[in-house]
Amino acid sequence: MGNHISLLLVVVPLIAAPLVAVLPRGRLPWAVSFAVSVVCAVFAGIQLWSVLQGGVISYELGGWAPPWGIEYRIDAVNAFVALIVAVIAALTLPYALHSAEREIPEEKIPTFYSALLLCLTGLLGITQTGDIFNVFVFLEISSLSSYALISLGKSRQAFTSSYQYLIMGTIGATFYLIGVGLLYSQTGTLNMQDMANILPSVLHLNTVVTGFTFIMVGIALKLALFPLHLWLPNAYTYAPTVVTVFLAATATKVAVYVMLRILFTVFPQTFTIATPADELFILAGMAGVLSASVYAIYQKNIKRLLAYSSVAQIGYMALGIGFATTTGLMATLIHLFNHALMKGALFMAIGAIIYRIDSCRIDQIHGLGRAMPWTFGAIVIGGLSLVGVPGTAGFISKWYLVTAALEQSAWIPVAVILIGSLLAVVYVGKLIEALYFKPLTDNGKVVSEAPLMLLVPTWGLVLANIYFGLDTDLTVGVAEQAAAILAGGLKP
């Protein structure tokens, strides 16, 4: 099989998606999707392992040699991101069974799984491909399917927020496409590697600079980088919880990956640093961390609170990109992974509460911590990881991020990162206080612990938060290699 794995990673969910849509109702669509996600996770694991062992994988689609054919080119960077996406999918699907049955009308369940698999296809495709136009195609596959997924939400706001995301997402994708077009006009190639070779000779052209700018803005929209994040809180709040879990842990991560690729592989790093892009990332990152964290504190809906927290976390990743050093990129990649773990765990735990009480307003969850001790425990540990308490994955992210900032003597970002952690203490504390100390709202309902099918994946992620806070061989090790690839010419 060998290198075919890289292709199968995309093809398997792609073929399964329409299949699932026509399967009879019941649990069969779920079972097939789950099997597909597990297969993908295994493939992604093997792929990362073989990349770490044997270096870059180059797969020529249909046997057409690059730069004419489409090339899948996998190094430690995208193998790492692909693994994150696939593993989160494999953990989300067991969770999806009950949660989706509760939140999505029965007749739409096969469609739901079909869209979820398409979204997975798109996200994995982005990570696999080495072709800059192909990225656009997969970006659209994942985006269109996620608009559909979000619109499946129970409340009517789901439609408007899906529509809002559709508009913003399409603008982003269009910007990206315009940028790609401009670059193509000057380089005559769409293969990233090839483009990277040609670009240095045409960098002085305004067309190239314009193309670069269009691409940056387009992806920043997809990434929900402050201040282009406005679609995200609504989308995360009104989507079905499973969708929120999946998107929060994967979609923005993949966009960060594309950003890194363009900034550090396609364009020469000297160019990236010469443009104001890196300074802008630091500015947007700091503004995002502070403003989104403050917004999070004042939210009354838990999902929205966590959504704003996600915007803040993206700010941290942007900071790492902006530092444009090996350590900074390492911090971004580590946080990419760790944030998927913590937000995944938190949204899953919130989903368990929604499953029981059918609401995610903070004033409705009073005192539930005692009725649902395992769910509460998951929120506490996930929250601590979000704050960055030592012994959790979040701490490792913060450690590298602050180290990167200190290397540059960038004192203001250091202060912002630490203040961001303090603000996280406040909003996580608000959740915990409501769950634990407020008296139980007495509406005659007896709330019991969430079913095992929801708890097991949740706690899988919770334990991963602790594990990767203590043993970082995988995260730090891979991130180090990946950052070295990205930052080849940068100062260490």
Partner 1 sequence: MSAETLLLTILLLPLAGAAGIIITRRNPDVREGVTLLCSALIAVLVVVLANRFMDGETFALTLIEPVPGIAISFEIEALGMLFALIAGILWLVTSIYAIGYMRGHNEQNQTRFFAAFAVSIAATMGIAFSANLLTLFLFYELLTLSTYPLVTHAGTPEAKQGGRVYLGILLGTSIALFLLGILVTWSLTGRVDFEAGGILAGHIDPAWAGLLYALFLFGIGKAAVMPFHRWLPAAMVAPTPVSALLHAVAVVKAGVFTILKVTIYIFGSDFILSNDVTGGLIWMAAATILIASMVAMTKDNLKARLAYSTVSQLSYIVLGAMLASKAGLIGASMHIAMHAFAKITLFFAAGAIFVAWHKKKVSELNGLGRAMPVTFTAFFIGTLSIIGLPPFGGMWSKWYLALGAVETTQLLLLAVLMISSLLNIIYLLPIPIRAFFSKPESGEHYTEIAEAPKSILLAMVITSTACIILFFYPDPFYRLASLAVGGY
Applying CB under 8 A, the residues found at the interface with partner 1 are 384, 387-391, 396, 398-400, 402-403, 406-407, 414, 418-419, 421-422, 425, 429, 433, 437, 469-472, 476
Nearer to partner 1, 274 or 406 (CB): 406
Nearer to partner 1, 477 or 489 (CB): 477
Nearer to partner 1, 115 or 404 (CB): 404
Nearer to partner 1, 68 or 411 (CB): 411
Nearer to partner 1, 266 or 396 (CB): 396
| In the complex, minimum distance from the CB of residue 337 to partner 1, in angstroms, rounded to a whole number | 14
Residues 6+ apart with CB under 8 A from 368: 353, 356, 357, 375, 376, 435, 440, 447
Alpha-carbon distances of 292 from 103, 249, 284, 407, rounded to whole Å: 28, 18, 11, 26
Nearer to partner 1, 83 or 393 (CB): 393
| In the complex, minimum distance from the CB of residue 229 to partner 1, in angstroms, rounded to a whole number | 24
| In the complex, minimum distance from the CB of residue 395 to partner 1, in angstroms, rounded to a whole number | 8
Alpha-carbon distances of 152 from 24, 36, 170, rounded to whole Å: 19, 22, 19
| In the complex, minimum distance from the CB of residue 483 to partner 1, in angstroms, rounded to a whole number | 13
| In the complex, minimum distance from the CB of residue 121 to partner 1, in angstroms, rounded to a whole number | 35
Nearer to partner 1, 227 or 390 (CB): 390
Nearer to partner 1, 96 or 464 (CB): 464
| In the complex, minimum distance from the CB of residue 60 to partner 1, in angstroms, rounded to a whole number | 37
Nearer to partner 1, 189 or 475 (CB): 475
| In the complex, minimum distance from the CB of residue 464 to partner 1, in angstroms, rounded to a whole number | 14
| In the complex, minimum distance from the CB of residue 431 to partner 1, in angstroms, rounded to a whole number | 13
| In the complex, minimum distance from the CB of residue 162 to partner 1, in angstroms, rounded to a whole number | 37
